[in-house]
Chains A and B, each alone.
Chain A
Amino acid sequence: MVKTPATAMTSSVEAVASKTASFDLQNVSVSYGSEKALEGVSFYIEPLKVTALIGPSGCGKSTLLRCFNRMNDAIDNVSVEGLIALNGQDIYAKAVDPVSLRMYVGQVFQRPNPFPLSIYDNVAFGPRTQGVRKRDELDEIVIDSLKKAALYDEVKNSLKKHAFELSGGQQQRLCIARALATKPGVLLMDEPCSALDPISTGMIEETVLHLKESMTIVMVTHNMQQAARISDTTAFLLRESIEEPATLVEVTDTTTMFTQPNDKRTENYITGRFG
């Protein structure tokens, strides 16, 4: 890849990086090779809100989520059309550096994936990538991030412990802390509780509710109760047949979605009639 000057790369994202991040999607389509997975998705993701993406398996929720930090770039053959604007800036524009974008748009994955390092080094990984070297500065970021992820009290005496010694729920909160350490404006969560027990799930949901005070959160979930509990806005995606790409059926504030959905298909899904 041709390297563009560092200033040109970072400026476009940093210029639009602020505490209140919003996404504007206009007619977004995603294809794997010649097969269209997702078509014509348009909606607005409000700043400092939790937006839940729901829908049956294979409806393109995770595919859509991966567009927000351009993680799809790493997969061969994926092409994204339409406009995805972060604070007004098209993130697929040529001048945008995906690496700096991902520091501003953090992600937590379905299964906990800590690095084979200590708890401290896991959280410090992002800041170190950003060039933070000073010990006290790193200490501060690590402790602050662990506190935000509601893990600090459990690990404050064992920050040097290997991350793999933590339980699954703790590992997932560690991954949240790790994502927070780069000070993102957006946090993407791809079914972050699907591999966890109900108690760990509860802790993570509580964390999410705290985090939305300072960042915008987009969460994919299979768990409708979870969407109802913690999200402000819910978007329902559906792929109606294998031949057709998935589409956005409905997007509305969560209460409306779960009490009086506009679309018959939404109602069927949330009442458990299919999917």
Chain B
Amino acid sequence: MTSAKIIARVANMTKTGKKEVITFSDYSSKGARRVEVVVRAFTAFCCIAVMALVVFLLGYLFIQGIGSISWSFIFDSPRDRMTGGGIWPAIVGTLWLIALVSAFALPVGIATGIYLAEIAKQNKPVRMLRVAIANMAGVPSVVYGLFGFAAFSLAFGFGKSLLAMGLTLACVTLPVVITATEEALKQIPKEQRQAAMALGCTRARTLGKVVLPTALPGIITGAILGLSRAAGETAPILFTGVAFFAPVATNITQPSMALPYHLYIMATQPTTPAPHIVWGTALVLTGILSITNVIIALWRSAKRRKLQW
């Protein structure tokens, strides 16, 4: 198309107010634009579908559960053969488990991640270890339960206790923490390490003063995600010490109730069905984990804003 023609068409467009596509050669990108429209529409549709699912799930849970939430539902023990009262011992049990998993899985997992990413020679055994850790994340949680029962409850003699449950859940969480740590450390540009090294930092100082502080938001985020995953698990604690009914746990050698298991038994095997307890428990469990995740997400984005390379 000649430039005179283009000018004429543009003039025509402004006059009539009609929009048409101006091409500058014989090539028309109509097909390519159609693909773009389809890709956009499809990805947007999927995104909206997921959002709708989340809204529906949380909304439904909220509507069903909010009626049960009361001071006494949260702070009382179950009564009337589990058909009344509250879920306090289960809440305390779950908080205990979160604390225990943090105490075991975070230090070990973060240290392992640091070793794999920063210290170990990147040779074949290390690569194999990495694959093994990835596989650990794929082991079904009920298998961890069985392992925990055999190892912690029986072999180590912790019996059915919060300790045995915490250790089992820590095993479930470990691969997540390790992987998150490794990934966060890999994000640190190598120029940062070189800068520290060129200033006369030892490897340990480079790690402690430059690499770890910068990677910390990523590490913590991954760790908390793993932790909340663990807090919602039922299978690993099934054999290792979770109780149908128990008083509020005061130390880690006792068995304890826990929210996910309480939800499970109340939904599947009560003598008299009490759906309000099921929904209330589900809402409390989801609430604890969501609030933790939101706080962490906010904290991380505040930290990240300072770290734009």
Contact = CB atoms under 8 A, between A and B. Distances in A.
B218 to A, nearest CB: 13
A102 B193 CA distance: 14
Contact of A179 (B191, B197, B199, B307): B199
Nearest to A108: B198
B192 A115 contact: yes
A129 B197 contact: no
Interface residues of B, number: 23
A113 B189 contact: yes
Interface stretch (B19-27, B84-92, B200-208, B263-271): B200-208
A43 interface: no
A130 interface: yes
B192 A103 contact: no
A71 B201 contact: no
A115 B210 contact: yes
A162 B26 CA distance: 52
B288 interface: no
A115 B195 contact: yes
B199 A103 contact: yes
Contacts of B201: 99, 129
Interface in A145-162: 162
Given A115-B210, A162-B306, A102 B198 contact: yes
B250 interface: no
A108 to B, nearest CB: 8
Interface string B181-200: 00000000101111111111
B214 interface: yes
A246 B189 CA distance: 29
A71 B199 contact: no
Interface in A103-130: 103, 106-107, 109, 111, 113-116, 125-126, 129-130
B120 to A, nearest CB: 12
Nearest to A102: B200
A71 B307 contact: no
B199 A182 contact: yes
Contacts of A71: 194, 197-198
A113 B195 contact: yes
B16 interface: no
B191 A100 contact: no
B194 A178 contact: no
Contacts of B194: 71, 74, 107, 109, 113
A100 B191 CA distance: 20
Contacts of A178: 195, 199
B205 A129 contact: yes
Contact of A100 (B193, B200, B308): B200
Given A129-B205, A162-B306, A164-B308, A113 B199 contact: no
Interface in A134-182: 162, 164, 175, 178-179, 182
Contacts of B205: 129
Contacts of A107: 194, 198
A103 B198 CA distance: 7
A109 B191 contact: yes
Interface in B110-129: 121-122
A100 B202 CA distance: 9
Contact of B200 (A114, A175, A182): A182
A102 B195 contact: no
B125 to A, nearest CB: 15
Given A99-B200, A103-B200, A129-B201, A175 B195 contact: yes
Nearest to A122: B195
Contacts of A254: none
A132 B205 CA distance: 15
A115 B213 CA distance: 11
Interface of B: 121-122, 189, 191-202, 205, 209-210, 214, 306-309
The 7 closest A-B pairs by CB, nearest first: A103-B200, A113-B191, A107-B198, A126-B199, A102-B200, A113-B195, A116-B307
Interface of A: 69, 71, 74, 76, 99-100, 102-103, 106-107, 109, 111, 113-116, 125-126, 129-130, 162, 164, 175, 178-179, 182
